[in-house]
Structure formats: structure tokens, C-alpha cells
A and B are shown apart, each in its own frame.
Chain A
Amino acid sequence: MIIYLIGTTVLIGIILGATPYMSQYHVPFGVTLTGHDARGETVRKWKKAHFLYHMSLAAFLSLLLWLVQGKATEEQFGIIYTGVVFFQFMLSFIFYIHFYNQSKKLKEKALITTKPEQRIGIDLAFRQEPFTFSTSYLVTINVLLALITAGVTLLNYERIPEVIVTQWDISMTPTTMTDKNYMSVLAIPMMQLFIGIIMGISNYSIQQAKQRVDARKAPESAKRDKRFRKQSSLMLVAISIGTQLLLMGTQSASMQAFISPEALMVLSLLFFVFVIGLVLWLGLRYGQGGSNIDTEALAEEEGFPSYDDDQYWKLGMFYYNKEDPAFWVEKKMGLGVTFNMAKWQGWAFLVGVILIPLVIVYLMI
């Protein structure tokens, strides 16, 4: 069991540490740099250091978990592991802020000699041909899988044990159980439905996010962005189907049919490794906005990109721009899409994403 937790810690370390390698070409640490600086020796060293910091941290935390196991009770160990995960993310943020500040200084230096332009490139045909997997198909597939789970569950309702397991501890002993009723047996299909909707929204956001086209090389830049978004969307399809199948497995395991909790545990971990692998593949092979496609062409770029909106990115992570009608935007740091925090709808969405699963879990227990 301990080996799974250590594996998870290391994989999270790899993803967090490798983020600057997957970010936008000009923006390794949340600050827009000149092309010259972005691939210069200094930034290369920073990226390496950022990765090594994360790996050392993961090694340290793994060692800690290894030493503590056996000495602590299961309950204590659970708390320690939660602390380890929290600590890992917190330190990762501190590492990032360090290099973010360094990048700001580097940019200041470049600004003395190079004046950035403020020219926005726009591809008028950007959304004319769809470049993502169809959102309605994606949602349909997810909803169908949820309906299958609900259907099979209800058809076999009589055969389901009177008490169902909703939680197992680390050694696969059931810890939480709940009485069988229509609400509790349908909690997982409801969760599946919720995940289907979230996946649909994510796919839609990939389609809708503001285009980022460098006016200096508009056609090439738009092509990169579209290719990256296409792969992101396909990755989302794979992850959503995998998640649905895993939830169907969980439903079976808690009804004590078809699959044992131990097998489910192994499958979950394999899936986790698969997802991390996919993200690494997308990030290193394509890069945010297509930054890792045909890097030779990018290597000729000297100055700042044609447009710099750093002023709207708080800490290089959070987009806040009241003037901008756009809701979805491509992230500045890391992979994927985020939203304009100046919009109340964004906060409503965030609260919904956190609250709805809590309500479902509450119904379940």
C-alpha cells in the first residue's frame, strides 16, 4: 500500500516540477519574457532547478511516509498523508513564486532595451471549423454510461445487500457503510452525471477560450493553438470515459458484485498513472498553446510576443480583467484553460463544482 502512496507523491512531484517545460514558450514562470530570454541559459537553469526542487521534495516526503508507516495507527497515517499532500502543494507554490519574482526582474531588464508591442492577432476563421471533439457527443457518452449504471443498479435492486460499503480503509477493510435505499444506491450514477457535465463544460471551454495568436506570425501561431486544443479535447474524452468506467467499477464493488475492492484499488492507481502520463505527453509533446510543436521555428524569435497582458494576470496565475468580455482564457502558467475572475459567473461555477459533489457524498452516507 505504502508503495502506491509514494508513487502518487512522486508522480505529483513530476507534474508540478515539469510545468515550466509545458507552459507557453514566452512564459515559463507566469511572466512574459523575450524569446531571447525564454530560451536563454538563465531560464534553462531555473527550469532545471524548479524540477530538481520538486523531485527533492518528493523524495523527502516519500522517505517520511516510509519511515512513519507501521509506527502510526491507520487513522494517524491518514492525517499524516493528507498533511504530506498539502505540504507538497504549498511548497510547490512557494518554489513557483520564487521563480516568478526572478522572471519579473529578468523582464524589467529586457524592458530597458526592448519595447513590447500591443498588437493582437486574430484569426477570423478560428472557430469556423470545429477543432475539438463535439461537446454534445462527449456529454451524451457520459450520460449514457451514467444511465447504464443507474439502470443495472435498479434492475438488480432486490439483489443488492441491505448495507452497502461506501468507503474502505488503506487495507481494504470496509469503514463506512450505509443502508440500502434508492437515494444511496443512485449516488454514484449521480456523480457520473455530474462528471459528465463538468467534462462537457471543460471541452466547451477549450473550444471557446480566447484565441492567442501572435500577430508577428499569425497563421503559424493560430495553427499551433488549434492543434494543441484538439489534443487537449481528445485527452479529455479519454479521461472522462476512464473516470466513468472507474465509477461504474466502484458501484459494482460497493454492491459486492463483479469486482473486488482490491482490484478496483489497483485499477484506480493504474488509471491515475495513465492520466499523469497523458498530461505529461500533452504538455511535453504539444505544450500550452502548441508551444512545444516545431520548436525550431520558435527558436528564431527574439523579442517579446506581439501582445503582453501580464498586467491582468495576478501572480501570473489568475486572470482578472473587467474590460474583457471573455470568460474562458488559456492559462498563462501551466496547461489548459482558466476563467476571467472579474466575472461573477466564474465564482458561481467554482462554488457549484465544489458544492455539488459534497451534496452527492452527503446523500451517499
Chain B
Amino acid sequence: MFITIDMESTIPIYTQLVYQIKEGVLQGNIQPGTALPSVRSLASDIGINLHTVNKAYKLLAEEGIVVQEKKGFRIANALPMKMSDPSLALLKIKIKEMVIDSQIYGLDLDSLIQDTTKTIQRGERL
């Protein structure tokens, strides 16, 4: 699977990594059980600190998207059934921010969400 990291983005690199991998899992571009590159190898390829990659992997592991084994990280065999409470709380904050912004700028949030959902379902990249 291919991912893209934007070095100039305001979104932190570890967040980009987390969501690129999640997107890949959701779209079936990366199969359950697939081994991820080692922390050192991925950090070297991108040219960033090892901690950044480690942080992304640990976050994914906490959520159950990937599992940590002796040899490294791999994609979990099944998607986690339930979102953890802290993650859910975070999601609610994100939704709140989205609602605030859409209200301020008068955007139709529902249709924006529908468009995004369709794009992801079609397997396209945003």
C-alpha cells in the first residue's frame, strides 16, 4: 500500500500516518495480518524521528487497528468492535469543532460528510 506524507501540512505527521493507515484498512488496500515496516525503516524512508513513527504505531495499537508482536507491528486480523471511551470523547470534540465551523461559515455539513463518505467508499483518495 502507498501512503503520502505532507511535510508542510499543519496536521502532525503522526496523525497523518494514523489516518493514512486507517484509510488503507477501511478501503481494503492493506490486508488484515499484513506486517508494517519496522519503526526504523519507515522513519528512515520518510526522514523523520523514530519517535514520530513509534507514536503513530502505538496509537494504532491502542485502538486495536494494529497489533504489536515481538517482531514488530502488523494490521489486526479483525477491526475492533467498539471504540474506546477516550477515543469516542475525542471524536465528539472533533464533531463539535466541525459543527462550529460549519455554522460560522454557513456550510452544509451533512452534504460535505456525504461527499466524503462516498469518496472513501469508492476507494478514492481525498
**Interface set of A (CB-CB < 8 Å, partner B):** 117-128, 210-211, 213, 215, 218-219, 222, 306-307, 309, 321, 323-327
Contact = CB atoms under 8 A, between A and B. Distances in A.
Interface of B: 1-8, 24, 30, 34-37, 40-50
A325 to B, nearest CB: 5
A210 B35 contact: no
Nearest to A212: B45
Contacts of B44: 210, 324-327
Nearest to A120: B5
A281 B3 CA distance: 33
Contacts of A309: 47
Contacts of A128: 35
Nearest to A219: B2
Contacts of A215: 4
Given A119-B6, A122-B4, A124-B3, 7 more contacts: A119-B4, A120-B7, A124-B42, A125-B1, A211-B45, A325-B40, A325-B43
Among A117, A122, A215, A306, the one with the most B-chain Cβ atoms within 10 Å of its Cβ is A122
B47 A218 contact: no
Given A127-B37, A128-B35, A325-B40, A122 B5 contact: yes
Contacts of A119: 4-7
Contacts of A123: 1-2
Nearest to A211: B45
Nearest 4 A/B pairs, CB to CB: A326-B44, A218-B2, A118-B7, A324-B47
A127 B47 contact: no
Contacts of B8: 117-118
A126 B45 contact: yes
A225 to B, nearest CB: 11
A126 B42 CA distance: 10
B58 to A, nearest CB: 17
Nearest to B17: A122
| Interface of A: prevailing SS | loop
A323 B47 contact: yes
Contact of A323 (B6, B30, B36, B48): B48
Contacts of A327: 44
Nearest to A307: B7
Contacts of A117: 6, 8
B5 A325 contact: no
Contacts of A125: 1, 34
B56 to A, nearest CB: 12
A117 B6 CA distance: 8
Contacts of A120: 4-5, 7, 45-47
B49 A325 contact: yes
Nearest to A222: B2
Contacts of A222: 2
A120 B5 CA distance: 5
B47 A321 contact: yes
Contacts of B49: 323, 325
5 contacts: A119-B7, A123-B2, A127-B37, A321-B47, A325-B49
Contacts of A126: 37, 45
A124 B1 contact: yes
Contacts of B3: 121-122, 124
A117 B44 CA distance: 20
Nearest to B53: A325
B26 to A, nearest CB: 15
A126 B44 CA distance: 13
A327 B47 CA distance: 10
Contacts of B24: 124
Contacts of A219: 2
A118 B7 CA distance: 5
A213 B2 contact: yes
A122 B2 contact: yes
A327 B40 CA distance: 11
A210 B30 contact: no
For B4, B7, B30, B45, which residue has the most chain A Cβ atoms within 10 angstroms?
A: B45
Contacts of A121: 2-4
A126 B34 CA distance: 13
Contacts of A218: 2, 4
